[in-house]
């Protein structure tokens, strides 16, 4: 079994020459970032007579034995200067926030774990628990070694670029993109403002993902990142958000910015957002989504399914397809499950419900919740006051978002740094 050692056991430890004389102290270990899952250690920063000098790892011995020795002929007396791609383990990682990409959580690196693998020292993991803190208080008697299964594998860890100067241009987007937008939003809410900006910058390579993440952020953090954007940049972001989420956010920005941002939206999106802004935020009209799927009353099941495929409506809004007559009045609704089970040549209206459970735009969210609960609905249509036309749909996720209190993730420890 590979033996794992703590970084802290090497910090400020004396380093001796071949004659056993102390020549300095270990200030830090240097690792090289790249494509390796476990960054290799390339050397150490040694403090000698008030100067920080670099010593290559090949000239350092005794790491595993506990007595660090200098095995070279002479020390390069040039002051240490970080090179691109290099990471100082203590300065850049220890006690810093890191991203656990497997769990989509922030962790604090209370200890950095090292191991010698095939003759090469590597950074194999971090310990986010409290044990390292106790060890620093109680000293070496609390234990200097750990088992491999007690740490978080460094292969699943991503440090913030701001912690590692010149190491990389940004957090790799491809890694963050594997997380759900809600997980990325949780990361942003756990992080400091600078760390959050780093995450937002990384996902900004995918404008759709950036918008999805913004939809998941709480209002406080949405405003925090909108403030640093111009009206045009804010409008570009809102244009990719669902109209109801965009309307909610516009309602929260400073009043003198609302109209300029709104006017920079594309005509179609602007029209939808203006419609939603005409309703109170805590009503069915205020939380509904205006994107949904409709078909004509003569459409077949196959044609209904094809309409779903071609629709730009979000997936959660298309659990139900609405049937309209030639005058545009809604005459029925059919669930997507019913369409899948039916024969393709059947007329969709023949399997549709013509007496639809529905809500109206002025209904408050509690009344909407009762209706959806009573009828076991994932999506409920919002009909105009004349009961003629579907003007939007309320989905269960939007209803929950409205009913849960602001900051509930933090209140229940969901958006907390993991130990």
Say if 411 falls within a structural domain.
Answer: no
For residue 410, is it within any domain?
no
**Whether residues 265 and 316 fall in one domain:** no
Last residue of a domain, one of 232, 253, 282: 282
CATH code for the domain in which residue 370 is found: 3.10.580.10
- Domain ends where: 127, 159, 191? 159
Q: What is the rounded average pLDDT of the residues 178-186? A: 91
The edge-to-edge listing of strands for the beta sheet with 320-324 is: 293-296, 320-324, 330-335
- CA–CA gap between residue 133 and residue 151 (Å, rounded): 15
End-to-end CA distance of the chain: 25
- pLDDT > 90? residue 174: no
Q: Are strands 293-296 and 320-324 parallel, antiparallel or unpaired?
A: parallel
**Angle (nearest 5°) at CA 384 between 380 and 385:** 120
Query: Which has more pLDDT, 181 or 173?
Result: 181
Residues 254 and 348 in one domain: no
Q: Specify the pTM.
A: 0.73
Predicted pLDDT at 417? 59
- Assess whether pLDDT exceeds 70 at residue 240: yes
Do 114 and 12 lie in a common domain? yes
Same domain, 273 and 299: no
Query: Do the domain assignments include residue 229?
Result: yes
Indicate if the pLDDT at residue 169 is higher than 50: no
Average pLDDT over residues 173-185: 87
Q: Do the domain assignments include residue 96? A: yes
DSSP 319: S
Query: 230 with 319, same domain?
Result: no
Residue 419 has pLDDT above 90, yes or no: no
Asked if 359 and 368 touch (Cβ cutoff 8 Å), the reply is yes
On the question of pLDDT at 4 being above 80, the answer is yes
Question: What six digits make up the tokens of 256?
Answer: 């003198």
Q: What is the CATH number of the domain that holds 183?
A: 1.25.60.10
Query: 315 pLDDT exceeds 80?
Result: yes
Residue 105 to residue 410: CA distance in whole angstroms: 13
Q: What is the pLDDT of residue 391?
A: 94
Instruction: Give the tokens for residue 137.
Output: 């208080």
More confident residue, 316 or 371: 371
pLDDT-based confidence at 69, cuts 50/70/90? confident
- For residue 177, what pLDDT is reported? 86
d(CA 182, CA 404): 15
In this structure, of 141-155, 171-185, 287-301, 387-401, the range with the lowest mean pLDDT score is 141-155
- Domain contains 406: no
One domain, residues 253 and 297: no
Judge whether residue 120 has pLDDT over 50.
Answer: yes
Q: Could you tell me the CATH number of the domain that includes residue 126?
A: 2.30.30.240
133 and 10 in a common domain:
yes
Does 142 fall in a domain? Answer: yes
Is 251 found in the same domain as 215? Answer: yes
Take residue 210 and report the two structure tokens written for it: 């950036």
Nearest 5°: the CA angle 49, 55, 60 is 110
Domain assignment present for 367 = yes
Residues 6+ apart with CB under 8 A from 282: 364, 365, 402
61 band by pLDDT with thresholds 50, 70 and 90 = confident
- Given pLDDT bands bounded at 50, 70 and 90, which one contains residue 159? confident
pLDDT 10s digits, 105-117: 899 999 999 988 9
Percent of the chain with pLDDT over 90: 47
Question: For residues 302 and 119, which has the higher predicted lDDT (pLDDT)?
Answer: 302
The count of domains in the chain is 3
- Structural domain including 208 reads 173-282
Does residue 212 share a domain with residue 113?
no
Burial 172-195 (b: 16+ CB within 10 A, else e): eeeebeebebbbbbbbbbbbeeeb
Where is the domain boundary, 129, 159, 189?
159
| 287, part of any domain | no
Cα distance between residue 225 and residue 116, in whole Å = 43
Q: Are residues 312 and 263 in the same domain?
A: no
How much is the pLDDT for 413?
A: 54
pLDDT at 144 over 60: no
What mean pLDDT do residues 189-214 have?
89
pLDDT exceeds cutoff 50 at 298: yes
Q: Do 235 and 375 share a structural domain? A: no
- Per-residue pLDDT averaged across 301-330, rounded? 91
Q: Residue 165 has which token pair?
A: 């100067």
Q: Are strands 105-108 and 97-100 parallel, antiparallel or unpaired?
A: antiparallel
pLDDT in tens, 330-378: 999 999 999 999 999 999 999 998 888 999 999 999 999 999 999 999 9
Quick one: 226 and 201 in the same domain? yes
Query: CA–CA separation, 371 vs 382, rounded Å?
Result: 12
């Amino acid at each position: 079994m590979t033996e794992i050692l703590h970084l802290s056991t090497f910090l400020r430890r004396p380093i001796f020459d071949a004659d056993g004389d102390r020549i300095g102290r270990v200030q830090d270990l240097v690792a090289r970032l790249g494509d390796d899952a476990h960054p290799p250690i390339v050397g150490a920063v040694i403090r000698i007579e008030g100067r920080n000098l670099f010593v290559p790892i090949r000239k350092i011995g005794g790491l595993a034995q506990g007595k660090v020795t200098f095995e070279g002929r002479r020390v390069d007396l040039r002051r240490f200067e970080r090179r691109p791609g290099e990471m100082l383990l203590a300065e850049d990682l220890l006690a810093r926030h890191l991203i656990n990409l497997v769990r989509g959580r922030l962790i604090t690196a209370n200890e950095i774990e090292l191991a010698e693998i095939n003759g090469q020292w590597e950074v194999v993991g971090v310990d986010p628990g409290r044990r390292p803190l106790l060890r620093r208080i109680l000293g070496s008697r609390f234990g200097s070694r750990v088992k491999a299964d007690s740490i978080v594998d460094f292969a699943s860890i991503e440090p913030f670029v701001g912690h590692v100067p010149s190491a990389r241009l940004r957090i790799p987007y491809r890694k963050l993109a594997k997380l759900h937008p809600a997980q990325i939003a949780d990361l942003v809410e756990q992080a400091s403002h600078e760390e959050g900006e780093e995450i937002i910058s990384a996902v900004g390579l995918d404008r759709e993902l950036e918008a999805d993440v913004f939809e998941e952020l709480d209002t406080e953090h949405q405003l925090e990142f909108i403030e640093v954007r111009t009206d045009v940049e804010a409008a570009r972001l809102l244009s990719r958000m669902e109209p109801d989420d965009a309307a909610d956010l516009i309602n929260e920005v400073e009043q003198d910015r609302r109209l300029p941002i709104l006017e920079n939206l594309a005509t179609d999106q602007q029209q939808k957002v203006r419609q939603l802004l005409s309703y109170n935020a805590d009503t069915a009209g205020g939380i509904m989504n205006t994107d949904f799927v409709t078909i004509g009353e003569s459409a077949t099941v196959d044609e209904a399914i094809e309409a779903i495929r071609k629709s730009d409506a979000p997936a959660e809004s298309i659990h139900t397809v609405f049937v309209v007559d030639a005058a545009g009045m809604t005459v029925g609704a059919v669930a997507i499950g019913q369409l899948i089970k039916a024969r393709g040549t059947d007329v969709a209206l023949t399997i549709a419900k013509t007496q639809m459970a529905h809500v109206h735009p002025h209904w408050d969210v509690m009344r909407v919740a009762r209706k959806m609960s009573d009828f076991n609905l994932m999506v409920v249509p919002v009909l105009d006051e004349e009961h003629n036309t579907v003007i939007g749909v309320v989905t269960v996720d939007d209803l929950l978002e409205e009913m849960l209190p602001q900051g509930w993730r933090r209140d229940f420890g969901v958006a907390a740094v993991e130990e």
